[in-house]
């Protein structure tokens, strides 16, 4: 069912990672990505890996769920590794006709694959432990200095919040409309491509009608409550940073330093 698509893929919980200030979590994720990209060798990656594993264990996210986040990038992983294994020059380890595998190719492809996997897992950990709404809230706060440059930061964040808020609603609505049309014998699974495209009309039209209706209702409701943009607006959920947040940030910076130091020592 459509319901099973999780967008934002938030996994509710109350772990240390969940409770971190989302602004810090975003910055720490940035620091983590910097670790991965500044690492020159496997040792540097290992440092990033330890950071990831520790955060992952602290977050209490089921291992299975974490693996699920990797599923969509399997093709990318395969593509990268194949490209690197076969097309990099170096000492050949195996030769079959024009195909050869070199030590350098093997090394680089392993390095790249580990880096991609760590990257995806790290950013998934952010979205698994932070609800989408909190996330946009934090992004707005982080970007708020840009307001000085007349960038409509609040409006952009509001648009994002509303879009995120309505994704599940629209999915649910699509599910309902699909069920209703199926109950009237709509056939969406068989037939030629053209027939199937046509079979979407009974779903798309009601969906658009209801999306517009919802948008209008929401606009009216916001206006009734005197919404007028970000100017002078206070917040229901204040973000408070605590010592723990600074500690986590400090820790991630130390890890980054360790990676840089390793580069220096090994290079």
What's the closest the beta carbon of residue 149 comes to other proteins, in angstroms? 42
What's the closest the beta carbon of residue 173 comes to other proteins, in angstroms? 8
What's the closest the beta carbon of residue 34 comes to other proteins, in angstroms? 32
Instruction: Tell me which of 177, 248, 249, 259 binds other proteins, using CB under 8 A.
Output: 177
Q: Which stretch binds other proteins (CB under 8 A): 4-12, 159-167, 217-225, 240-248?
A: 4-12
Instruction: Tell me which of 184, 235, 237, 240 binds other proteins, using CB under 8 A.
Output: 184
Q: Of 18, 12, 8, 25, which Cα lies nearest the Cα of 58? A: 18
Q: Which stretch binds other proteins (CB under 8 A): 24-32, 52-60, 203-211, 227-235?
A: 203-211
Interaction of residue 206 with other proteins, rule CB under 8 A: yes
Q: Which stretch binds other proteins (CB under 8 A): 46-54, 143-151, 172-180, 239-247?
A: 172-180
Instruction: Tell me which of 8, 168, 202, 230 binds other proteins, using CB under 8 A.
Output: 202
What's the closest the beta carbon of residue 7 comes to other proteins, in angstroms? 15
Q: Of 16, 116, 22, 19, which Cα lies nearest the Cα of 56? A: 16
Q: Read out DSSP for the chain?
A: -GGG--SS------SHHHHS-HHHHHHHHHHHHHHHHH--SHHHHHHHHHHHHHHHHHHT--HHHHHHHHGGGHHHHHHHHHHHHHH--SSEEEEETTEEEEHHHHHHHHHHHHHHHHHHHHHHHHHHHS-HHHHHHHHHHHHGGGGGGT--HHHHHHHHHHHHHHHHHHHHHHHHHHHHHHHTT---SSS-HHHHHHTTHHHHHHHHHHHHHHHHHHHHHHHHTT---STT---SS-----HHHHHHHHHHHHHHHHHHHHHHHH-
Q: Which stretch binds other proteins (CB under 8 A): 34-42, 131-139, 163-171, 199-207?
A: 199-207
Interaction of residue 185 with other proteins, rule CB under 8 A: yes
Nearer to other proteins, 60 or 115 (CB): 60
Nearer to other proteins, 141 or 214 (CB): 214
Instruction: Tell me which of 94, 183, 193, 226 binds other proteins, using CB under 8 A.
Output: 183
Site residues, other proteins (CB under 8 A) = 3-4, 11-12, 173, 176-177, 179-187, 201-202, 205-206, 209-210
């Amino acid at each position: 069912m459509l319901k099973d698509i999780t967008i934002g893929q938030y996994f509710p919980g109350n772990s240390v990672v969940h409770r971190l200030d989302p602004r810090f979590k975003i910055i720490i994720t940035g620091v983590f990505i910097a670790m991965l990209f500044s690492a020159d060798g496997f040792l540097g990656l290992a440092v990033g890996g330890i950071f990831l594993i520790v955060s992952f264990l602290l977050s209490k996210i089921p291992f299975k769920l974490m693996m699920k986040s990797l599923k969509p990038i399997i093709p990318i992983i395969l593509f990268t590794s194949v490209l690197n294994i076969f097309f990099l020059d170096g000492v050949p380890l195996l030769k079959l006709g024009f195909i050869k595998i070199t030590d350098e190719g093997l090394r680089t492809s392993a390095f790249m694959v580990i880096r991609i996997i760590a990257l995806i897992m790290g950013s998934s950990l952010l979205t698994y432990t932070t609800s989408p709404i909190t996330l946009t809230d934090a992004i707005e706060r982080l970007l708020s200095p840009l307001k000085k440059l007349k960038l409509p930061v609040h409006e952009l964040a509001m648009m994002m919040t509303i879009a995120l808020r309505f994704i599940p609603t629209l999915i649910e609505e699509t599910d309902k409309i699909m069920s209703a049309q199926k109950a009237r014998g709509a056939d969406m699974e068989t037939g030629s491509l053209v027939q199937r495209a046509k079979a979407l009309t009974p779903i798309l039209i009601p969906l658009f009608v209801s999306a517009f209706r919802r948008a209008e209702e929401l606009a009216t409701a916001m206006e009734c409550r005197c919404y007028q943009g970000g100017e002078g607006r206070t917040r229901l959920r204040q973000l408070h940073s605590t010592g723990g947040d600074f500690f986590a940030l400090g820790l991630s910076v130390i890890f980054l330093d360790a990676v840089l130091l390793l580069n220096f020592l090994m290079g």
